[in-house]
């Protein structure tokens, strides 16, 4: 018990003589030691390298230099304590190619750790690397981002670097690598486009990459990357890329060059890039550099001294503390500026605090307001007052930040926690109102149709993502008696609801060809055959791929599906009378400056036809559905029949102009 008390005392106070008896958990500590200088980390030049480390609870600090990732230290250089507990030193000479760590004395214990601000790391991220970042820029490296007006124009395609190319028939040379994800003109079974060419052909606006920062060796060992698989939600070094996706993880600069090459290539192909970031927890709260350098400060603790664990991953970061907030904000800005990223998806965002997320949005707006921010605003328990949590309940305090709409997801395919729940797309009645809430982007449409969002930019409409069952697998669980053709129709119906809903549209890679993970609902470390994009399946389901392309083209052609404000939605979106098991709505009076005067959308999840009356007078043009997609058939009043398990989109054009999809 005495030993545990000593450990707890060190975590909370470090050396009391160093910090004046202030607890690292206290506001007084934050105020006394908050550092605003811009020099933290290592700053290399050919003439000298400067090092600055924030470690106020330490009584001594050293820079340790290494010449190889697996060798012993070559030199230890004493650092000098300065203002606000920041340690500094300058080492003359050209240290390019050297590796380094910090050693700090906390109470009577020496800890060695990687620099949290390291921008390049050794293999497996155990040491920082001193490199000339300008040498990591590809031959073509521009500041130009693909043209883009507003986050609500986003159609996001979420993909894992390895999944995209690792299938044996992907036709991609550098399978599982950054460079494989940007190989042009690749083809697979039956000559179909694969990889980048496939994504580009869909017409999406953004590619969202599952984590590509440096994640834990325990997840994937970079010395043998083919032996293990992981999604990457195990942060180790936040400001350096993961090495397992590199052709040469032993060279700290190569992974940076390759990731930049991927981003530039996606930009050159008209695709913006979102990075999946995980600032809510670290891979190991005891061994992470934060804890070694300033014990207790960077993570949240319960009153009993144990880690807060709302993440379910062992710990939660203390984003509300000023130096942790500063680290997160500056990390995001670094990725946006150094790597030209166009958006950030925040994992378990509901564990972060409102002020941190708003500061990120404010700083990104200064850089480029078209940079997208979205996250998982789940309502989760953590050692932070409820009013401070960046979740759906507090969405009103988070302007400009999107939340994944799990209410629409579950209404469409059934609850994640009940494999038998089929959802609207699976034929379950009584969910029409929930679907309408999703179509209205979860804004306050009227007394009954309302959700968490103040404005549509705060809602991400989706039905599947990397987490949980794919839509196909969920439909198989909930309706096992149905044949594959019926299941395909239900699947396409669900995608049609997503792409005709207000808010930001989000697609999971492979959703366009009925991706399956063979029933796995949490494949974060499952083998490749579970996770890969199966290009044979894609070849078999080309009709589904074509349908997804038509839906994407429909959304892009009609700004009425992308209204900018809740007021516009209330003024122009009208839900129409429809039989049970179906939802119908109109987008009226040139919504969001659409050339089309009125749009009429019907989603019929019943296996049989339904009949509805056209809601407004005029000559209605078939835009999607009712036989040949994009036909110029015109309907002048009267009832119309909508086939079972289908979606239909009609439009009235004042100038006899049609937008066939």
pLDDT in tens, 232-265: 999 999 999 999 999 999 999 999 999 999 999 9
Tokens of 340: 């030209």
Mark out the alpha helices in 461-527 (DSSP H runs). Answer: 471-478, 484-499
Q: If you average pLDDT over residues 297-318, what whole number do you get?
A: 96
**For tokens 């729940």, what's the residue?**
421
- To the nearest whole percent, how much of the chain has pLDDT over 70? 95
| pLDDT confidence of residue 11 | 59
Strands 48-54 and 41-44 turn out to be antiparallel
Strands 372-375 and 343-346 turn out to be parallel
pLDDT digits (tens, 9 = 90+) for 522-564: 999 999 999 999 999 999 999 999 999 999 999 999 999 999 9
pLDDT digits (tens, 9 = 90+) for 116-132: 999 999 999 999 999 99
| pLDDT confidence of residue 634 | 63
Cβ neighbours of residue 304 closer than 8 Å, sequence gap 6 or more? none
Q: If you average pLDDT over residues 397-412, what whole number do you get?
A: 98
Q: Is the confidence at residue 14, as pLDDT, over 70? A: no
Q: If you average pLDDT over residues 409-428, what whole number do you get?
A: 96
**Mean pLDDT computed over every residue of the chain:** 95
**For tokens 């019926």, what's the residue?**
486
Q: If you average pLDDT over residues 482-491, what whole number do you get?
A: 97
Q: If you average pLDDT over residues 331-357, what whole number do you get?
A: 98
| pLDDT confidence of residue 626 | 57
Active-site residue 353, yes or no? no
Catalytic annotation, pick one of 115, 376, 432, 436: 376
Predicted confidence band at 12 (pLDDT cuts at 50, 70, 90)? low
Strands 109-113 and 99-106 turn out to be antiparallel
pLDDT digits (tens, 9 = 90+) for 570-617: 999 999 999 999 999 999 999 999 999 999 999 999 999 999 999 999
Q: Is the confidence at residue 658, as pLDDT, over 50? A: no
Determine the length of the chain. 661
Separation in Å, CA 112 to CA 236, 255, 467, 537, 584: 15, 25, 35, 49, 62
C-alpha span between 640 and 597 (Å, rounded)? 19
Predicted confidence band at 289 (pLDDT cuts at 50, 70, 90)? very high
Q: Is the confidence at residue 62, as pLDDT, over 70? A: yes
**For tokens 């690792």, what's the residue?**
166
Active-site residue 347, yes or no? yes
| pLDDT confidence of residue 8 | 56
Cβ neighbours of residue 589 closer than 8 Å, sequence gap 6 or more? 571, 572, 597, 598
pLDDT-wise least confident of 391-405, 456-470, 538-552, 622-636: 622-636
Question: Do residues 437 and 406 make contact, with C-beta atoms less than 8 angstroms apart?
Answer: no
| pLDDT confidence of residue 570 | 98
Strands 206-209 and 272-277 turn out to be parallel
Give the 3-state secondary structure of residue 92: strand
Q: If you average pLDDT over residues 55-59, what whole number do you get?
A: 97
pLDDT digits (tens, 9 = 90+) for 79-109: 999 999 999 999 999 999 999 999 999 999 9
Catalytic annotation, pick one of 158, 234, 347, 353: 347
Please measure the distance between the N-terminal and C-terminal CA atoms of the chain and give it in whole angstroms: 71
| pLDDT confidence of residue 635 | 76
Give the 3-state secondary structure of residue 326: helix
Q: If you average pLDDT over residues 331-358, what whole number do you get?
A: 98
C-alpha span between 259 and 261 (Å, rounded)? 5
Q: If you average pLDDT over residues 360-366, what whole number do you get?
A: 98
Residue 304 CB: number of other CB atoms within 10 A? 6
| pLDDT confidence of residue 7 | 44
Question: Do residues 459 and 502 make contact, with C-beta atoms less than 8 angstroms apart?
Answer: yes
Mark out the alpha helices in 185-230 (DSSP H runs). Answer: 195-202
Give the 3-state secondary structure of residue 221: coil
Tokens of 626: 């009712």
Give the 3-state secondary structure of residue 550: helix
C-alpha span between 407 and 434 (Å, rounded)? 7
| pLDDT confidence of residue 388 | 98
């Amino acid at each position: 018990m005495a030993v545990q008390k000593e450990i707890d005392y060190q975590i909370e106070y470090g050396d009391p003589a160093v910090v004046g008896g202030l607890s690292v958990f206290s506001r007084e500590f934050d105020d006394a030691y908050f550092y605003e200088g811009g020099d933290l980390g290592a700053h290399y030049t050919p003439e000298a390298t400067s090092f600055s480390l924030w470690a106020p609870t330490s009584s001594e600090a050293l820079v340790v230099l290494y010449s190889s990732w697996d060798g012993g230290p070559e030199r230890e250089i004493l650092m000098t304590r300065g203002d606000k507990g920041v340690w500094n030193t300058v080492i003359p000479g050209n240290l390019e190619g050297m590796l380094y760590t910090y050693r700090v004395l906390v109470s009577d214990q020496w800890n060695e750790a990687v620099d949290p601000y390291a921008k390049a790391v050794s293999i497996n991220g155990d040491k920082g690397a001193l490199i000339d970042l300008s040498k990591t820029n590809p031959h073509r490296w521009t500041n130009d981002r693909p043209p883009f007006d507003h986050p609500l124009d986003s159609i996001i395609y979420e993909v894992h670097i390895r999944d995209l190319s690792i299938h044996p028939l992907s036709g991609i040379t550098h399978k599982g690598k950054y460079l494989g994800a940007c190989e042009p003109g690749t083809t697979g079974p039956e000559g179909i486009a694969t990889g980048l060419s496939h994504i580009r052909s869909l017409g999406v606006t953004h590619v969202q990459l599952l984590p590509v920062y440096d994640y834990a060796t325990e997840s994937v060992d970079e010395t043998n990357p083919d032996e293990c698989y992981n999604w990457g939600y195990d942060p180790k070094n936040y400001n350096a890329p993961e090495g397992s996706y590199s052709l040469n993880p032993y060279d700290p600069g190569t992974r940076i060059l390759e990731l930049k090459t991927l981003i530039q290539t996606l930009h050159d192909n008209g695709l913006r890039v979102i990075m999946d970031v995980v600032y809510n927890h670290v891979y190991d709260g005891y061994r992470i550099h934060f804890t070694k350098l300033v014990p207790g400060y960077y993570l949240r603790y319960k009153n009993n001294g144990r880690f807060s664990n709302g993440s379910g991953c062992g710990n939660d970061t203390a984003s509300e503390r000023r130096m942790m907030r500063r680290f997160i904000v500056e990390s995001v800005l670094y990725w946006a500026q150094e790597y030209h990223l166009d958006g950030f998806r925040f994992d378990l965002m509901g564990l972060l605090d409102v002020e941190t997320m708003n500061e990120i949005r404010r700083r990104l707006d200064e850089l480029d307001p078209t940079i997208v921010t979205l996250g998982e605003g789940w309502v989760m328990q953590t050692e932070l007052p409820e009013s401070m949590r960046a979740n759906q309940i507090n969405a009103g305090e988070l302007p400009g930040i999107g939340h994944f709409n799990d209410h629409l997801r579950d209404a469409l395919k059934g609850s994640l926690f009940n494999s038998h729940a089929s959802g609207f797309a699976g034929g379950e009645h009584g969910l029409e109102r929930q679907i309408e809430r999703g179509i209205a982007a979860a804004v306050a449409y009227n007394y009954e149709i309302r959700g968490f969002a103040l404005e549509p930019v705060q809602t991400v409409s989706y039905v599947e993502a990397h987490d949980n069952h794919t839509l196909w697998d969920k439909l198989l669980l909930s309706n096992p008696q149905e044949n594959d053709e019926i299941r395909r129709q239900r699947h396409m119906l669900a995608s049609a609801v997503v792409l005709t809903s207000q808010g930001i549209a989000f697609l999971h890679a492979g959703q366009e060809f009925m991706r399956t993970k063979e029933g796995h609902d949490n494949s974060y470390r499952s083998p490749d055959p579970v996770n890969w994009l199966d290009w044979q399946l894609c070849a078999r389901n080309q009709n589904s791929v074509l349908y997804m392309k038509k839906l994407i083209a429909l959304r892009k052609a009609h700004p009425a599906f992308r209204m900018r404000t809740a007021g516009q939605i209330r003024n122009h979106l009208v839900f129409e009378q429809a039989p049970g098991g179906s939802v119908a709505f109109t987008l009226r009076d040139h919504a969001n400056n659409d050339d089309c005067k009125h749009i009429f959308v019907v989603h019929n999840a019943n296996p049989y036809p339904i009949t509805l009356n056209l809601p407004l007078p005029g000559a209605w043009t078939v835009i999607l559905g009712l036989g040949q997609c994009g036909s110029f058939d015109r309907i002048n009043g009267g009832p119309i029949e909508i086939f079972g398990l289908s979606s239909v989109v009609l439009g009235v054009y004042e100038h006899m102009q049609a937008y066939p999809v």
